[in-house]
Amino acid sequence: MHKSLVKHRFLYKVVTIRIHYDDFSTYTRSKTILVWTSDIFVIKRTAVQLLELVTKLVKEKRK
């Protein structure tokens, strides 16, 4: 996906992840970045932050 962003000179400002679990529950989280960018490291860092947030939420919910 990142190659396509760079190839077409697209910039983005929102990173979204969607996680589907085997019990059919789905979690979607998005984060808006302050400036428009195409930096792969920003995508990765933001996606990891969102994944950690969902993981924490699921652990708390399944207690």
Q: At a CB cut-off of 8 Å and minimum separation 6, what does 10 contact?
A: 4, 38
Is the pLDDT reported for residue 49 higher than 90? yes
Q: CB-based contacts of 14: which residues, under 8 Å, 6+ apart?
A: 30, 31, 32, 33
State residue 9's pLDDT score. 83
CATH topology of domain 2-61: Dna Ligase; domain 1 (3.30.1490)
What's the rounded Cα separation, in Å, for the pair 31 and 43? Answer: 10
- The confidence score (pLDDT) of residue 45 equals 95
Closest CA to 56 of 15, 24, 19: 19
Nearest to 21 by CA among 62, 63, 45: 62
pLDDT tens, 12-30?
899 999 999 888 889 999 9
Rounded to two decimals, what is the model's pTM? 0.78
pLDDT band, residue 1 (cuts 50/70/90): low
> Cβ–Cβ contacts within 10 Å for residue 17, how many?
17
pLDDT surpassing 90 at residue 8 = no
